[in-house]
Amino acid sequence: MTEIPSLNAPYLLYLGDSSKVLDIKTARGIAKWRPELCLGELKRPNCQTSLDLPNLSLNEAIAKGVKTLVIGLANSGGRISSLWHEDIKSALKSGLDVASGLHAKLSDNEELVALAKTHNCRLIDLRDTKGINHIGNGIKRSGKRILTVGTDCSVGKMYTALAITNEMKAQDFKVTFAATGQTGVFIEGTGVCIDAVVADFMSGAVEQVTPEVENDHWQIVEGQGSLFNPSFAGVSMSLLHGSQPDYLVLCHEAGRKNIKDLQGYPVPSLEECLALNLTTARLTNPNVKLVGISLNTRLLTPEEAGAYIAEIEEKFQVPCFDPMRTGVERFVSQLER
């Protein structure tokens, strides 16, 4: 896998001026899966979100031992808002490293570079993909791979992949998590932000983060985007080709009607989504098949969720689950070792 610079822990998670839960999905992911590294959150006065971590000032965070300010926000286009600059500069002046997974690079800002040098701290850009230039070759690799795919963005592909990985470890499988986005890379400490890789090298980069392993070793590959999202279908296709998945877990948010942030694009049916993902994946693995369906049922009552999960499982004849509500133990127990 592609290694990132080692981050100095513990972290202060920066929520900026976020107004929606999805704005802070990076911070939320780190807090969920690496809670031992997260001492608090830093917010602007108008911030409307929270991780239920201590709300710390920079001085309070430093007193508690924080070493790195992690930009925990994600937005379309990966921009660093001008409203965040003063907080980032203050963190650098206080001697904290600053890490970001956004497309806009901290290291492209001359003022921030100068401050980091003056105060002997680091700017860490996870989406720095210089040097990634492997062209995919489609050669079959040993090992077993599960790829999470989705009907849209932000339906639970990363959460599902991490939940499956952790449960497989608990059940003594040989397993690793292959991170392909900023939040996953922050959590795992290795991987690649596939959406920052030059298009010609995308499938090759996926091959590199899912290398040949022993036949009984599983790689759980974090999905990105959706073949049905006009904005981000390219990253989805590179993962389907580069990871050569043996199995797909189809992820879907129950009740979502339209593709996120776009007008005129309805969410596909599960049948339509599955068919296109299988067809695409068969280019590099003709034997790929569906192994499970992960449903995000946050918009449903517990009773509605239970009925919907049972309905979908009966319809597709594979294990169906909500990783937050039902967990993934039953799904993992049915995987062949």
CATH number at residue 27: 3.40.50.720
Do 22 and 94 sit in the same domain of this protein?
yes
Question: Is 209 inside a domain boundary?
Answer: yes
| pLDDT of 3 above 80 | no
Do 23 and 121 sit in the same domain of this protein?
yes
Give the relative orientation of helices 233-242 and 202-209 as an angle to the nearest 10 degrees: 50
Q: Which of 90, 125, 160 is the last residue of a domain?
A: 125
**Secondary structure class of 178 (helix, strand, coil):** strand
Question: What tokens were used for 263?
Answer: 């007008």
Question: Is 3 inside a domain boundary?
Answer: no
Question: What tokens were used for 139?
Answer: 């050669």
Do 162 and 31 sit in the same domain of this protein?
no
Comparing CA positions, the residue from 95, 99, 34, 37 lying closest to residue 72 is: 99
User: What is the number of structural domains in the chain?
Assistant: 2
Do 89 and 161 sit in the same domain of this protein?
no
Q: Which helix (H) or strand (E) holds 41?
A: strand 38-43
Q: How far is CA 228 from the centre of its chain?
A: 18
Comparing CA positions, the residue from 139, 154, 145 lying closest to residue 173 is: 145
| pLDDT of 2 above 70 | no
| pLDDT of 249 above 70 | yes
Rounded Cα–Cα distance for residues 325 and 272 (Å): 26
Question: What tokens were used for 60?
Answer: 């309070």
Sheet with strand 38-43: strands edge to edge: 38-43, 11-16, 68-71, 97-100, 123-125
Do 121 and 84 sit in the same domain of this protein?
yes
pLDDT in tens, 224-240: 999 999 999 999 999 99
pTM value is 0.92
Please give the mean pLDDT across all residues of the chain. 95
Strand-pair partners of 251: 150, 294
The CB-based long-range contact list for 79-82 (8 Å cut-off, 24+ gap) reads 79/103, 79/104, 80/104, 80/106, 80/109, 81/16, 81/17
Rounded Cα–Cα distance for residues 168 and 179 (Å): 16
What is the mean predicted confidence (pLDDT) over 288-316?
98
The pLDDT value recorded for residue 78 is 85
Q: Which of 82, 98, 125 is the last residue of a domain?
A: 125
pLDDT in tens, 87-130: 999 999 999 999 999 999 999 999 999 999 999 999 999 998 88
Question: Is 290 inside a domain boundary?
Answer: yes
Do 110 and 164 sit in the same domain of this protein?
no
Comparing CA positions, the residue from 250, 216, 229 lying closest to residue 147 is: 250
Do 150 and 232 sit in the same domain of this protein?
yes
Strand-pair partners of 274: none
Do 171 and 305 sit in the same domain of this protein?
yes
Percentage of the chain exceeding pLDDT 90: 91
Do 107 and 227 sit in the same domain of this protein?
no
Confidence of residue 148 (pLDDT cuts 50, 70, 90): very high
Percentage of the chain exceeding pLDDT 70: 99
Confidence of residue 4 (pLDDT cuts 50, 70, 90): low
Question: Is 103 inside a domain boundary?
Answer: yes
What is the mean predicted confidence (pLDDT) over 174-190?
94
What is the mean predicted confidence (pLDDT) over 65-80?
91
Question: Is 274 inside a domain boundary?
Answer: yes
The string of DSSP codes covering 98-129 is: EEE-SSS-GGG-HHHHHHHHHTT--EEETT--
What is the mean predicted confidence (pLDDT) over 34-38?
96
Q: Which of 98, 125, 152 is the last residue of a domain?
A: 125
| pLDDT of 85 above 70 | yes
Rounded Cα–Cα distance for residues 240 and 200 (Å): 15
Do 84 and 221 sit in the same domain of this protein?
no
| pLDDT of 308 above 80 | yes
Question: Is 1 inside a domain boundary?
Answer: no
Do 25 and 115 sit in the same domain of this protein?
yes
Do 168 and 310 sit in the same domain of this protein?
yes
Comparing CA positions, the residue from 73, 219, 249, 76 lying closest to residue 151 is: 249
Question: Is 260 inside a domain boundary?
Answer: yes
At 235, which amino acid appears? V
The CATH number assigned to the domain holding 162 equals 3.40.50.300
Domain that holds residue 69: 11-125
Question: What tokens were used for 336?
Answer: 């062949």
The pLDDT value recorded for residue 151 is 98
Question: Is 138 inside a domain boundary?
Answer: no
